[in-house]
Amino acid sequence: MRIGILGTGGIAARHAAAIAEVDGAELVAATSRSFETAQAFSARHGGTAYEQLDWMLGEADLDLVIVALPPGAHDGEVEKIAAAGVNLLVEKPISLDIGRARAMVDASQKVVAACGFMYRFGGAVERWDALAAAGKTGRTGHFSGSFHCNALHAPWWRDRDMSGGQMVEQLIHIVDIQRSSMGMPTSVVARAANFHHVDTPGYSGEDMSAMIFGYDDGRIAVLHASNVAVPGRWMKGWQLVAENATGIFADWNSAEIVRTEGDISSEKVAATTNPFAAQIADLRDAIANRRSPRVPLSDGLATLQMVLAARRSADEKREVAL
């Protein structure tokens, strides 16, 4: 599988390292808004640097393009790649505009197109999903999740018009775990503020937030985030409370799953999966077998609808229907 990367920032480097771990996958090309940046990336990770996406598509004989652009920078690239018949992995969030996100999904119907929600490939997440699919957990009635850090990140990340803010750009991973476990909610109430970085130049997103998703049948999900916590420490986790089991997740590979029906029993999961590599391997097999990927691009649209509705709720200080 010959792979090209569009956008050569930090997340692209994670993908490049993952590609190197996957049998039958090779990074052969990269392009970016800056040719010099693309050249430096290729010097570190391999492949040929291209000045333009069109040239990369025309010359590199690609099977897959990983789109690692900031969400606010999308301007028809996904549609162009799909029109060229090349398969796609689009980093989350796939856009900041629902209309453009829907256009991406519609344009990608004839290729294998995935969204970069790599958390779903973690060993602990997969174990819970397997138990749920086997009917062992029962329905999840309550979900809680959080993402706390303290970093300025890249300039584009601080700019809400480019990143969407922390709820949209970071917390979306855990919102996606919620949606994949519980389905689409019916409404959301959220609050957000720029509490600590209001005087930081270029910082227009929120640095603390909370959201509550509701379901018509009474199920509830509560998520919160901040960028005012411990510097250098990435504190994220989530809990699923289901009818017959509770899952306590420290990350995608580490969890305690407690069976709560009958005799209480506890299972510790401590996997070592690289979820970036696992998603690349899934795409390799999906392309070879012409099947859907485990995390299709349409999932990127569905979860984007949730976080944008939460952002709107916070902006307008009211409940928003989904």
The CATH class that applies to domain 120-271+304-321 reads alpha beta
What the block records as the tokens of 38 is: 């693309």
141: Cα separation from own chain's centroid:
23
What's phi and psi for 16, nearest 5 deg?
A: -60, -40
What is the rounded CA–CA span in Å between residue 244 and residue 231? Answer: 37
Confidence of residue 57 (pLDDT cuts 50, 70, 90): very high
What is the rounded CA–CA span in Å between residue 61 and residue 191? Answer: 47
What is the SS3 assignment for 47? coil
| pLDDT value of residue 101 | 98
| pLDDT value of residue 300 | 98
User: Residue 50's beta-bridge partner residues?
Assistant: 31
Return the H-helix or E-strand segment holding 272.
none
Confidence of residue 213 (pLDDT cuts 50, 70, 90): very high
Instruction: Evaluate whether 179 touches 307 at the Cβ level (below 8 Å).
Output: no
Nearest to 82 by CA among 62, 68, 99: 62
What is the SS3 assignment for 166? helix
pLDDT in tens, 10-41: 999 999 999 999 999 999 999 999 999 999 99
| pLDDT value of residue 14 | 97
- Average pLDDT value for residue range 224-243: 97
Length of the chain: 322
CATH architecture of 2-119+277-294: 3-Layer(aba) Sandwich (3.40)
**Domain segments of the chain as ranges:** 2-119+277-294, 120-271+304-321
- Average pLDDT value for residue range 286-299: 97
| pLDDT value of residue 304 | 98
Average pLDDT, the chain: 97
- Residue by residue, what is the 3-state secondary structure of 65-100? EEECCCHHHCCCHHHHHHHCCCEEEECCCCCCCHHH
